[in-house]
Amino acid sequence: MRYILFCLSLCCTTALATSEPPRLFGRIVDATTGEALPDVIVSAGAGSTTCTSDSAGYFSIDSLLSDGPLDNEHALHFSLISHQSHTIHIKAESADTLLIRLPRKVIEMKEEVVVYSERTSYHHRVATKSTSTDEALHGIAGVEMVRRANFALEPTLRGAQPQQTSIVIDGMKIFTACVDRMDPVTSYIEKENLQKLEIFKGGFDLSKSQAVGGTVNLISKKPSFGRPLSGYAEVGYESTSNHRFSRNVLNYTRTNMALRTSFSYRQAGDFKPGGRGAVANTQYAKYNFKLDAAKIGKTQRFDFGLLGDNAWDIGYPALLMDARKAQFYLYSGEHTWTPIRGPLHQAKTRLYFSRVDHWMDDADRDVGRREVMRDMHMPMFGKTRTWGLLENLLFARPEQTLELVLDFYYLRSFADMRMLSVFPDVLPMYLLSLGDVSRHHFAGVADYNRVLSTELQWKTGLRLDLASQAIHDDMGQRQLAAAWDTRQLDNQYLSPSFSTALEYTIRPHTRLKLSLAHSSRLPTQLETYGFFLFNPADGYFYTGNPKLKSERSRQIELGVAYDRQHRRLNVSFYYNQLSDYITGITREAIFKNYANIARAYIYGAELSAALPLSTKLRLDLIASYYHGHNSDFDEPLPLIAPLENRVELNYNAGRYDLLLAARFVSGQTRVANKTTLEDATPSFATYDSHLHSRFSKNINLRLSIENITDHYYHEHLSVANFPNPGRNIRLTLNSSF
């Protein structure tokens, strides 16, 4: 009898237990800081309110999952005025404790491009087409590349001149050593060491640098705290220049410490343009390495890094000289503190030091046959040394954020040249191209974001730059004093900048953004103190002007963005009015001085779109147009790229991916012939194909054919009409573990 009663009791208890609806628990936190988010509305079905999160971010649902069978799928929607809404789908049978991370609503002034390296992916065109950092940048709307050789392309943004675009590595200021711009900052870091690219177009974001054209921030890879040991290796070959390259990465983790090291090697011979033989003296070789160590605690993280790059035997047939050797080293240490409580959510302090050395000469040239500096060899050396401090403080409240940045660097730069005649009876001469120049630069930045309503957000930024610069070498002082009839060569600058933006959500997937900016740019050390600098674009020798004023810019941009279910459309229109524009003015014969002119302007438009045609097929479109004008000389600004369109078709078939790309570039007939000597550029079209095969989870093979038609062409931004590569077959094999 007792046994029967026990069984009946057990059955009743089980029935009651199984009839109790499953309960769903969860916690909602800020995606960036991890702080609990109270008062988040959790809704289901047609938007009926189910519950709200408590002061610790926790929520629980009793009744939702009891409706219908356990395998029914339910949609949960999370919304908070200060954060982006988020929806998940869950089944009752898999109900468990959830952790929901909501990204904060922030008006983004940047475009991010993730660069896949250690874990191969084909979901982004940049990750598949590029073998170097400058190639990864090429093809992004609003980014154009200046080509001086088959090596080290230099990015510019929205029609700005190269010196108006700032290139930084993790926010650190790096200054090139070559007076002919043979060594842009993008050449110092290889693709395997890039986490992502941040593109700030125009002067709307002031947190990274002072630039009227925009900023490119190269975000480097850091040690990961995942598997104890992981790595990546890649080998590849390109046919057009017999280019061989290899990349190797190793990451080691032990409890709260991690190490990451990488090494890559690249070597190329003379390259072949479309339909023609190889261009002599276009070879190069280089290696790049990076070593990082990280240690994490409950609220702190320490990072230490060394980045090095060495290149040699680099041919520049479009310039007077070739690069014999180029060396770059960057040492950095960073401390990150993330408090558990309080308005301060994160504090970052970074110290860094960089050294750049560059040697170039014309020892392999027939100097008796050239027009400029005939019968004379001119070996040159340049160097820069930069010490810097970056301090970032992030404060956050439910509906607002405030970022404060302290940015300080100290720069020393030097460049000289020897002039050696081929005739033994002519004595050698010596010239200081840049006579030991120093710059102290301090900047304070405040960047404020606020959510005004569910549809409207506001962002504003303030930046104040204080700088002083001087030339220390006696010979360099005498050269410039004679040119400008003054001994007062030191300079001090005070440059305020301001930006503001409003973003209005027209409907759930459509946003309208209006941005305004007033920014300024200090003259570079070459524009201020350079001496006898040859410019191959116009054949003139330039002298710096210590009396230059800061370049100023007023900008406006209107943009519309639509993003829904992998359908994406972004359209931007912008106008940039430049005052005290810095350019070269003819002094006499073949000599120019840098000078400020009253006014110039640039306007343009950009479009990017993605349209899924099926679950496996996607169409991508990119278009850009720029129009620049020098009002003082009533002529076009130089280095303005023509109208360009790109069309790409992406097909994903599981283990295989195929990308077909076409690029259409209009001719450029708007050229400058008063301040420089440009010529018109004809239109052209190129076609590429990229195939990616995944043999296994860790082994990938890529085959690319670029410029399939082997068309001969050059870009409008190519110095001395230097041609682009012809048909190129690229094969890469990589493996990860």
Q: What value does the mean pLDDT take over residues 231-248?
A: 95
pLDDT grade for 9, boundaries at 50, 70 and 90: very low
pLDDT grade for 508, boundaries at 50, 70 and 90: confident
- φ, ψ for residue 172, nearest 5 deg: -80, 135
Q: Tell me the pLDDT tens digit for each residue of 432-458.
A: 999 999 999 999 999 999 999 888 999
Q: What value does the mean pLDDT take over residues 41-68?
A: 66
Rounded distance, CA 702 to CA 237, Å? 11
Residue that terminates a domain, selected from 102, 127, 149: 102
Q: What value does the mean pLDDT take over residues 721-731?
A: 96
Whether the per-residue pLDDT at 28 is higher than 90: the answer is: no
| pLDDT (0 to 100) of residue 125 | 43
The CATH code of the domain that includes 156 is: 2.40.170.20
Rounded distance, CA 273 to CA 708, Å? 12
pTM comes to 0.87
Whether 89 and 161 map to the same domain: the answer is no
Pair 271, 282: CB distance under 8 Å: yes
Which residue type, as a one-letter code, is found at position 527? E
Residue that terminates a domain, selected from 65, 85, 102: 102
Whether 122 and 28 map to the same domain: the answer is no
Whether 179 and 132 map to the same domain: the answer is yes
The CATH code of the domain that includes 88 is: 2.60.40.1120
Whether 473 and 382 map to the same domain: the answer is yes
| pLDDT (0 to 100) of residue 11 | 45
| pLDDT (0 to 100) of residue 617 | 94
| pLDDT (0 to 100) of residue 680 | 95
Pair 637, 615: CB distance under 8 Å: no
Whether 80 and 211 map to the same domain: the answer is no
Greater confidence (135 vs 525) lies with: 525
| pLDDT (0 to 100) of residue 519 | 94
Whether 508 and 604 map to the same domain: the answer is yes
Q: Encoding tokens for residue 581?
A: 């524009």
| pLDDT (0 to 100) of residue 45 | 55
Greater confidence (103 vs 580) lies with: 580
CA dihedral 464, 437, 355, 114 (to 10 degrees): 40
Whether 346 and 452 map to the same domain: the answer is yes
Q: What value does the mean pLDDT take over residues 232-237?
A: 95
Whether the per-residue pLDDT at 7 is higher than 70: the answer is: no
Rounded distance, CA 636 to CA 705, Å? 36
Residue that terminates a domain, selected from 72, 102, 132: 102
| pLDDT (0 to 100) of residue 96 | 59
Q: What value does the mean pLDDT take over residues 568-591?
A: 93
Whether 22 and 151 map to the same domain: the answer is no
Greater confidence (61 vs 356) lies with: 356
Q: How far is CA 694 from the centre of its chain?
A: 28
pLDDT grade for 5, boundaries at 50, 70 and 90: very low
List, edge to edge, every strand of the sheet that includes 194-201: 110-114, 194-201, 214-220, 165-169, 172-173
Whether 292 and 383 map to the same domain: the answer is yes
Pair 201, 184: CB distance under 8 Å: no
Q: Tell me the pLDDT tens digit for each residue of 629-684.
A: 999 999 999 999 999 999 999 998 888 899 999 999 999 999 998 888 899 999 99
| pLDDT (0 to 100) of residue 662 | 97
Q: Tell me the pLDDT tens digit for each residue of 520-554.
A: 999 999 999 999 999 888 889 999 999 999 999 99
Whether 703 and 721 map to the same domain: the answer is yes
Rounded distance, CA 409 to CA 386, Å? 7
Pair 282, 270: CB distance under 8 Å: yes
Q: Tell me the pLDDT tens digit for each residue of 64-106.
A: 544 455 455 667 878 776 677 778 877 655 555 788 888 777 7
Report the relative pairing of strands 214-220 and 165-169 from DSSP bridges: parallel
CA proximity to 392, closest of 345, 352, 448, 348: 348
Q: Tell me the pLDDT tens digit for each residue of 372-392.
A: 889 999 999 999 999 999 999
Rounded distance, CA 132 to CA 163, Å? 22
- φ, ψ for residue 723, nearest 5 deg: -75, 160
Pair 273, 232: CB distance under 8 Å: no
Whether 44 and 155 map to the same domain: the answer is no
Whether 84 and 115 map to the same domain: the answer is no
| pLDDT (0 to 100) of residue 120 | 37
- φ, ψ for residue 283, nearest 5 deg: -85, 165
**DSSP track, 467-512:** EEEEE--HHHHHHHHHHHT-S---EEEEEEEEEEEEEEEEETTEEE
pLDDT grade for 139, boundaries at 50, 70 and 90: confident
DSSP 160: -
Q: Tell me the pLDDT tens digit for each residue of 325-347.
A: 999 999 999 999 988 878 888 89
DSSP 566: T
Q: Count of domains in the chain?
A: 2
Round the CA-based radius of gyration of the chain to a whole number and report it.
29
- Per the structure, the complete domain to which residue 80 belongs is given by 2-102
Rounded distance, CA 215 to CA 212, Å? 9
Work out the mean pLDDT of the chain and round it to a whole number. Answer: 88
Q: Which residue has the tokens 């988010």?
A: 37
CA proximity to 214, closest of 606, 632, 543: 606
Whether the per-residue pLDDT at 491 is higher than 50: the answer is: yes
Whether the per-residue pLDDT at 122 is higher than 60: the answer is: no
